[in-house]
């Protein structure tokens, strides 16, 4: 790291949980963010600001006016542009050292597998169950850690799955294979700051996993009722009949 890096990341380096070795670990990591909307925006910006210098951004949508209420990586001037390109511009304005690979398409199951093999961690910021199911299966198959979050109405939830840990449950251990388990967030209202809260938490969990300082981070569902500001944690175990990770 040069003098500019030491200055840029000095507040990280001062933390004993990070230090110089941890910051160097961050700067050599490769993270994929799938979905550059309300959750993916703060994830992308915070990971780039934190020194993750390789980001793969995946989203097939374009920026529209209705996104700007909550998707802080995008601007009025970029309406109509692919979200991955808009997010890449926002990242460049924060950290020009970040190498961004923009994937402006919806990935198939095989493409997700290839991508999962190429990265150190995936952050799932998608807004539908089918995409989450496919991403989870790719992470299980390649033993790639996964941070998954969702926000809807005034509520949010966060989970971390780490297939490198023995008996770690996966997303489908909790939700099974029923496509009707949860609503599609794209067709339901959401208060703007809730996606910022959970996007920031997802970025934090991603950094903790990469740094190796995450504790008891699997098999736990964290939820927030934003109306009452009440947090809850629910523990769950690996299902022996899980369709994704039971083997």
3-state secondary structure of 53: coil
Do the beta carbons of residue 37 and residue 62 sit within 8 Å? no
The CA-CA-CA angle for residues 139, 195, 215, to 5°, reads: 50
Whether pLDDT at 217 is above 90: no
Q: Kindly report, residue by residue over 4-40, the tens digit of the pLDDT.
A: 999 999 999 999 999 999 999 999 999 999 999 999 9
Distances (CA, A) of 156 to 80, 82, 119, 159, 189: 28, 26, 26, 11, 13
Residue 181: predicted pLDDT: 46
pLDDT-derived band at 185 (thresholds 50, 70, 90) equals low
What is the Cα–Cα distance from 79 to 86, expressed in whole angstroms?
9
| Complete domains list, the chain, with CATH | 3-235 (3.40.50.720)
With a CB cutoff of 8 Å and minimum separation 6, the contacts of 138 are: 109, 112, 113, 115, 116, 122, 144
Which residue matches tokens 């910006």? 45
Q: Kindly report, residue by residue over 137-148, the tens digit of the pLDDT.
A: 999 999 999 999
Counting beta carbons within 10 angstroms of the beta carbon of residue 183, is it exposed (0 to 12), middle (13 to 18) or buried (19 or more)? middle
Q: Kindly report, residue by residue over 47-72, the tens digit of the pLDDT.
A: 999 999 999 999 999 999 999 999 99
| Position with higher pLDDT, 220 vs 187 | 220
- The conformation of residue 123, written as its DSSP 8-state character, comes to E
Q: Kindly report, residue by residue over 86-116, the tens digit of the pLDDT.
A: 999 999 999 999 999 999 999 999 999 999 9
Q: Kindly report, residue by residue over 108-163, the tens digit of the pLDDT.
A: 999 999 999 999 999 999 988 899 999 999 999 999 999 999 999 999 999 999 99
Residue 73: predicted pLDDT: 97
Residue 28: predicted pLDDT: 96
What is the Cα–Cα distance from 89 to 105, expressed in whole angstroms?
18
Total residues found in the chain within this entry: 247
Do the beta carbons of residue 153 and residue 188 sit within 8 Å? yes
Which residue matches tokens 């970029």? 78
Residue 218: predicted pLDDT: 86
Whether pLDDT at 46 is above 80: yes
The residue annotated as part of the active site, out of 185, 220, 242, 245, is 185
pLDDT-derived band at 186 (thresholds 50, 70, 90) equals low
Q: What does the mean pLDDT of the chain come to?
A: 93
Do the beta carbons of residue 184 and residue 134 sit within 8 Å? no
Active site residue 185: yes
- The conformation of residue 108, written as its DSSP 8-state character, comes to P
């Amino acid at each position: 790291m040069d003098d500019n890096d030491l200055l840029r990341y000095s507040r990280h380096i001062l933390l004993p949980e990070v230090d110089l070795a941890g910051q160097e670990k961050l700067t050599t990591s490769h993270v994929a963010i799938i979905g550059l909307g309300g959750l993916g925006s703060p994830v992308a910006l915070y990971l780039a600001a934190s020194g993750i210098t390789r980001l793969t951004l995946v989203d097939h949508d374009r920026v529209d006016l209705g996104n700007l209420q909550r998707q802080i990586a995008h601007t009025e001037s970029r309406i109509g542009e692919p979200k991955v390109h808009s997010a890449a511009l926002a990242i460049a304005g924060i950290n020009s050292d970040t190498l961004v690979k923009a994937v402006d398409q919806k990935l198939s199951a095989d493409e997700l597998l290839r991508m999962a093999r190429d990265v150190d961690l995936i952050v799932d910021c998608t807004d539908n169950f089918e995409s989450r199911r496919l991403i989870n299966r790719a992470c299980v198959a390649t033993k790639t850690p996964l941070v998954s979050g969702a926000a809807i109405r005034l509520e949010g939830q966060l989970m971390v799955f780490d297939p490198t840990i023995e008996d770690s449950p996966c997303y489908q251990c909790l939700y099974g294979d029923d496509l009707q388990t949860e609503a599609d967030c794209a067709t339901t209202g959401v208060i703007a700051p809730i996606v910022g809260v959970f996007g920031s938490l997802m970025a934090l969990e991603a950094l903790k996993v990469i740094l190796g300082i995450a504790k008891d981070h699997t098999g736990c569902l964290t939820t927030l009722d934003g109306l009452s500001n009440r947090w809850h944690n629910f523990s769950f175990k690996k299902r022996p009949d899980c369709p994704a990770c039971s083997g």
